Amino acid sequence: MTESALVRWADYDAALFDLDGVLTPTAEVHMRAWAALFTSYLSAHQISPPYTDADYFAYVDGKPRYDGVRTLLASRGVTLPEGDPSDPPTAETVCGLGNRKNAEFEHELAAHGVAAYPGSVALLDHLATLPIGLAVVSSSVNAPAVLAAAGIADRFPVVVDGAVALDHGLPGKPAPDTYAFAAKQLGTDDAHAIVIEDAVSGVQAGAAGDFGLVIGVDRGAGRQTLLDHGADVVVADLGELV
């Protein structure tokens, strides 16, 4: 049986997509932004070991920005004051470093732009022919800008991003709350919704809820790792599910 045969789209009312690494290769933009932040910060403070791409997948991938800062620093035994979301990027606080990372991300996005994965667009085209609601659920506050830049904003009537989560007091991934909120906005419940994720924290969010299916997209986290953390199906590209 093929992977695509495992997904009976007609059995579900909603498909809930993560954005970065699932619909667009902005995970690569995030990776470069995190690397720019932590390579500089750890080196300037003589903190070992130095930052690597493995740290991205282990500590920051898919998490809200400030959670990523806090978790990465904790892996080095470093604790900073929490600060405030209004802190400038120069502040030596969790929020300050998070805001510095966001500035790096905005710079990378402006410099290089972004295009949706062809396989993801193929799946969206297929789902547009079915009576299934679509939502984006992203930890990033940049989600609307990324969707617009990729030309797919009109595909999603519901977008639950970091700003929406903050406004509604929703804990971020790996908690399932943002996905459950999106399903409710589409008029359905968790059991009739599919979660589609590339990050370990994202598939954990899907597994933590009562969602009908959790699809993992292996963009580097590893097929078995995604399965171990809660994915029911893992593909290398969403085009496989058309």
**Model confidence at 4: pLDDT above 70:** no
Give the global pTM: 0.80
Number of H helices, E strands in the chain: 10, 6
Mean pLDDT over 1-29 rounds to 84
**Residue 237 DSSP symbol:** S
pLDDT at 13: 98
**Residue labelled with tokens 């199906």:** 233
Cα–Cα distance, 242 to 235 (Å, whole number): 12
35-93 residue pLDDT tens:
999 999 999 999 999 999 999 989 998 888 999 999 999 999 999 999 999 999 999 99
CATH code of domain 4-25+115-241: 3.40.50.1000
136-170 residue pLDDT tens:
999 988 899 999 989 999 999 999 999 999 999 99
**Residue 239 DSSP symbol:** G
The encoded tokens of residue 98 equal 């998070």
Catalytic residue, from 11, 13, 20, 177: name it.
Answer: 20
Cα–Cα distance, 186 to 149 (Å, whole number): 24
97-116 residue pLDDT tens:
999 999 999 888 888 889 99
Catalytic residue, from 18, 67, 218, 232: name it.
Answer: 18
pLDDT at 5: 55
Answer whether 215's CB lies under 8 Å from 23's CB: no
pLDDT band, very low/low/confident/very high, at 6 (cuts 50, 70, 90):
low
pLDDT band, very low/low/confident/very high, at 1 (cuts 50, 70, 90):
very low
For 18-34, b/e burial (b = at least 16 CB within 10 A) is: bbbbbbbbbbbbbbbbb
pLDDT at 3: 43
In the residue annotation, 20 being an active-site residue is answered as yes
**Model confidence at 123: pLDDT above 90:** yes
In the residue annotation, 18 being an active-site residue is answered as yes
Sorted by where each begins, the domain ranges of the chain are 4-25+115-241, 28-112
**Residue 173 DSSP symbol:** T
Cβ neighbors of 23 (< 8 A, separation 6 or more) are: 17, 116, 117, 120, 124, 136, 147, 150, 152
Mean pLDDT over 185-190 rounds to 98
**Model confidence at 211: pLDDT above 80:** yes
